[in-house]
Amino acid sequence: MTKKSILGQGLVESLLVVLFISISVLVLVSFQHYLSYSTNFTQQQIDANALAVQETESLRDFQVINTTPNYTAYSNIANGTGTATVGNTTYSLTWTVAKNTDPTYTTIDVTVSWTDRVGTSQSVRLITKVAGLDPGSSGTFM
């Protein structure tokens, strides 16, 4: 082998190493973008779940069964909408209420919707039932 062919092999090997490192860096950058999106989306889901639980808890926080001035009443639980902003995300809340009379309970269906950072519509749904029992008798024994 001549000296020129040995020098040429070193150049080709160096170019292959640079190509391999370049491709590896590109793959890592795209993976980092995916991880960043995934982390952001997970945080938005956590925030949406917290908003759904908060709205559900506020609807079930009644003091009396029937409408009474200056008190929150079970009979006043009704459908509604709202918005909330957490961080840089705005969430839309919608809740529907279905009342049952035998036994007395209310089904609350809360949906929290938002648009993620790539423009995809996302939502979280929470359904719960609230018994129509007088909170004043919660400390009594049967």
CB 129 within 8 A of CB 107: yes
Note the pLDDT of residue 93.
98
Give the burial class of 4: count Cβ atoms within 10 A of its Cβ; 0-12 exposed, 13-18 middle, 19 or more buried: exposed
Note the pLDDT of residue 83.
97
Torsion of Cα atoms, 125 then 131 then 132 then 138, to 10°: -130
- The stretches in the chain having pLDDT less than 70 are 1-8, 138-142
| Burial profile 43-65: b = 16 or more Cβ within 10 angstroms, e = fewer | ebbebbeebbeebbeebbebebb
Domain boundaries, the chain: 3-135
Note the pLDDT of residue 38.
85
Using DSSP's 3-state secondary structure scheme, residue 44 falls into helix
CB 65 within 8 A of CB 77: no
